Amino acid sequence: MRVLGVDPGLTRCGVGVVDGVAGRPLTMAGVGVVRTPADADTAHRLVLIERGIEEWLDTHRPEYVAVERVFSQHNVRTVMGTAQASAVAMLCAARRGLPVALHTPSEVKAAVTGSGRADKAQVGAMVTRLLRLTAPPKPADAADALALAICHIWRAPAVNRLQQARAAARRTPVPVRTLKGTTR
């Protein structure tokens, strides 16, 4: 499975590609950051992010895209930019028919470090270890993108089984009891 992880942001949008399957060693196929100038207007910055993500999709041909789920922050301006960058990543994937998974920051941290409250340094250290890198990817947005991809690879099998079980449960008829206690 090849997954493009996207840590959305208007100034720095982390991107990382990881190959592997749950229970086996993982391999980094690429890591980087799509940057936009802070002084550019938002619309232009979103176009630059779109071009950058499209380039990553063209180059690495992932099967899935994992994006950090935007959560409420105190700074509304920051969360709006993050949400807009996240939407661009989802749009790029949807155009190509690629499945998109959203993972919360705490879910990613727990998957990679064992603690949903891990700090950036701990995430970077575990990404380095899990992918057998010589140093943590810089900036932290790049390491976070790899962590998203790792999280998706490890959690996708369980999520798929859960979705299949839910679908099967919806298809299975529920027995109806009559007044006399017999089942139809």
Among the options 55, 107, 141, 144, which is catalytic?
141
**8 Å CB contact between 81 and 42:** yes
68 part of the active site = yes
pLDDT in tens, 23-46: 899 999 999 999 999 999 999 999
Q: From residue 70, how far is each of 55, 147, 156, 165 by CA, in Å? A: 23, 16, 20, 28
Boundaries of domain holding 87: 2-171
If pLDDT is split at 50, 70 and 90, which confidence band does 178 have? low
39 part of the active site = no
Distance (Å, rounded) from C-alpha 91 to C-alpha 89?
Answer: 5
Residue 93 has pLDDT above 80, yes or no: yes
Number of domains observed in the structure of the chain: 1
In a domain, 180, yes or no: no
> Which pTM was predicted?
0.86
In a domain, 181, yes or no: no
Q: What is the CATH number of the domain that holds 152?
A: 3.30.420.10
pLDDT in tens, 124-170: 999 999 999 999 999 999 999 999 999 999 988 776 666 677 777 78
63 part of the active site = no
Among the options 7, 54, 55, 144, which is catalytic?
7
Among the options 39, 68, 107, 144, which is catalytic?
68
